[in-house]
Structure 1
Amino acid sequence: MKSQLAIVRHGQSEYNLENRFTGFADVDLTTQGREEAAMCGRKLQGMQFEACFTSVLKRAIETLDIILDTIGQKQLPVYKDAALNERDYGDLQGLNKAETAEKYGAEQVALWRRSFDVSPPGGESLKQTQERVLPYYYANIEPLLQQGKNVLIVAHGNSLRALMMHLENLTPDAISHIDLLTGVPRVYDFDDSGKISYVQHLTS
């Protein structure tokens, strides 16, 4: 059955603004982040969702809440799970990215940030993040899409990139070059066979 899946990275957070590694840190949205969430909702106007999923971190939860308020669908069921949390940045969490690059070298920090299977000290690689995201997707989200229901996921840059690898059949090298902008929805159309027939990146 035909269905749609919209994925959204939360709006700008305080650590995004300060150029810090966020990871599991439970930081708030900025004023700009809330505006991005409202703008995202306006871009999704007209889509009717049956279920919503988010992480347990408040920047994603608040973004979803603003989106649902903007599109007038506050009554929808919302499922929160740590499987959709941002990747754990371990010892880098809270550190300024530019200062960390000065300390360890830009090449090493780029490897920690962009590699598929290299973990930052004490943290998760994108591969490890994917190993918790995909089982949750298979068990809880994919069945709804197969039933023809439209689903909205609001989560984080790396948990969503991990899902994108699966949905778009991307290689580790390809995903290393992809960044998800805060508050910008990406919408997947599924055909009757359950395969993706169209992808929209709603930047404007």
Structure 2
Amino acid sequence: MPATLVLCRHGQSDWNLKNLFTGWKDPGLTEKGIAEAHEAAARLKAMGIKFDIAFTSALSRAQHTTSIILEDLGQAGLETIRDQALNERDYGDLSGLNKDEARVKWGEEQVHVWRRSYDVPPPGGESLKDTAARVLPYYVYRVLPQAMAGKTVLIGAHGNSLRALIMAMEGLTGEQIVKRELDTGVPIVYHLNPDTTIASKQELKG
């Protein structure tokens, strides 16, 4: 039986709603974000998925989403490992700024480069390449061995930390992955072959 790995971006946060750069800042979920987490759990439940272990970031929006999913699946006490290696990309000086205000301050083109290039970091922050440099070793040494041991694994994390994982798992280039949009609260179910390649993939959208 192929190993099962489920990636889920956290539900909508208060700063997502306000169109702010969030990064390592720690706003909570909105009511919509909480509802998205419950919907994610319902879709996983419909597939008959039960987890053996969960991983999440050091940020509350990812932890809250993960805990809602597990609670709804009747797995509230499941071992859940929290680590900042899975944190969102650090937006540095942009953190807390409205994205439209940032465009006024630095210009549309410069903000677009910071947001959508692979290897250009914002001032004081991380590029997606930098994010991948901390996410991927954690995945390879901590998460992947659990999946390859036959466990069903949940990762509740963030748009860019999950992009870094997806880039490696699907063999995408930096240019390809920055164009990939990840919806809040939508689980992506991967079944992995014994050599860690992808046997199948399914996004559980409504």
TM range (shorter): over 0.9
Question: Any unmatched runs of 5+ in structure 2?
Answer: none
Correspondence 1:38-117 to 2 at 5 A: 38-45=38-45, 46-117=48-119
Q: Paired residue for 1:126, among 120, 128, 136?
A: 128
Distance 1:70 1:199 in 2: 23
Shift of 1:184: 0.4
Please name the residue that 2:29 is paired with: 29
Name the amino acid aligned to 1:5. L
| Aligned alpha-carbon RMSD (Å) | 1.0
Shift of 1:191: 2.3
Name the amino acid aligned to 1:7. L
Shift of 1:122: 0.5
Distance 1:202 1:102 in 2: 37
* Contact 1:2–1:194 (Cα < 8 Å) also in 2: no
Name the amino acid aligned to 1:102. V
Distance 1:79 1:37 in 2: 18
Q: What SS does the aligned partner of 1:44 have? A: helix
Distance 2:15 2:75 in 1: 29
Shift of 1:43: 0.9
Please, what TM-score do these two structures have when normalized by structure 2? 0.96
Q: What SS does the aligned partner of 1:166 have? A: helix
Moved over 6 A (4+): none
Shift of 1:105: 1.6
Aligned-residue sequence identity (percent) comes to 52
Name the amino acid aligned to 1:118. V
Please, what TM-score do these two structures have when normalized by structure 1? 0.97
* Contact 1:54–1:153 (Cα < 8 Å) also in 2: yes
* Contact 1:11–1:183 (Cα < 8 Å) also in 2: yes
Q: How many residues align?
A: 204
Question: Any unmatched runs of 5+ in structure 1?
Answer: none
Distance 1:13 1:75 in 2: 24
